[in-house]
Structure 1
């Protein structure tokens, strides 16, 4: 088996993406709180029921990649290299992202309207915080599984909280600089300094926690 999605699944993914793209465009143009789900459905030429078949809440129309975002740190830890600790793997991935031209921050001009829409909506800001909370919970569970620790392991919870705390301030720093129209070079340099220092401090406290054997 190839593992590729079948025709039906691909069509569902295409429909979901199409609805999200229409919704995001409307939210950016008019403001998240000013657009109803019914208006999104009409613009996307689907029923309201169809929208809710794909999205459990209005906020999910905007944060349509939340599942991937929430799993990203856990995936990095699961796929860490031989001899690499959890913090080492996450730091490496952070540095790779800074250099990746496909990273959204590489095009701050296009990203600014998206971030401005979040900044103007209490509902979207609350959903952003929820996504980070879920990311932390998922990472703690992954660390427990990867180290074979008991379900109530305090170390995994503490490490996950520290990692996501660093992620939170990196997101805040990036958003503020994008909204101030700083250059990509300036944003990347600031995030590099902040991230490298944050991971250095994490490493000094966490050490080789969750290190994969050679």
Structure 2
């Protein structure tokens, strides 16, 4: 008996990847604003209707990579070890991400990642759309902190601070790497900055 649901999901993933890959290639070659959705659909050999079924907006063709990580911080808080505080879990996760060179930490010097970073930061429409994902991730983190017993107001304030710190650390790392500093060379400074940032957070948000 074949695994029809599994086959369908794999086919959907392949289609989604093919569309995104075609879009990124065209955007990097000619610029985000110079490429139409119809061209992307043609390059990916799908209809515009199919494209929009996977990516509701043109911006999502690029930013789905960020959207896939939207609830990362909230997920870390919910999956923390028994007895471990939310902030400590987030600190550990960020440091682990640095060690693994995860793109979300900014410490990744793979050419493709750098190219997308430059595309996003150099395109106003993408910057604006990214702000929406950032806001949603912050709200998800606030909800997770609330579930962990943090009062509602404190959870919202802490989520804003934590999100800003994570974003600032990642941007500093990516700016350094984009300027030509190898990820391995940036690593010690990235770790030191993260440790300092989370130490300041611990004294500011009132919980660890």
TM-score (norm. length: structure 2): 0.89
Give 1:160's aligned residue: 159
**3-state DSSP class of the match of 1:69?**
coil
Q: Verify the 8 A CA contact 2:20 2:62 in the aligned structure 1.
A: yes
The equivalent position to 2:116 in structure 1, one of 107, 114, 117, is 114
Number of aligned residue pairs: give it.
202
Counting only pairs closer than 5 Å after superposition, residues 1-214 of structure 1 correspond to structure 2 as: 6-100=6-100, 103-104=102-103, 105-147=107-149, 149=151, 153-208=152-207
In the aligned structure 1, how far is the partner of 2:124 from the partner of 2:62?
13
Shift of residue 189 of structure 1? Answer: 2.4
Q: Compute the displacement of 1:94 (Å).
A: 0.9
Q: Secondary structure at the match of 1:65?
A: helix
Partners of 1:208 and 1:112 in 2: CA distance: 35
| Change in CA separation of 1:134 and 1:120 when aligned onto 2, cut-off 3 Å | same
Identify unmatched segments of 5+ residues in structure 1.
Answer: 210-214
Instruction: Determine the C-alpha separation between the residues in 1 that align with 2:29 and 2:93.
Output: 33
Contact kept? 1:66, 1:131, Cα under 8 Å: yes
Alpha-carbon distance between aligned partners in 1 of 2:207 and 2:84, rounded to the nearest angstrom? 8
Q: Which has the higher contact order (CA 8 A, sep 6+)?
A: 1
- List gaps (5 residues or longer) in structure 2: none
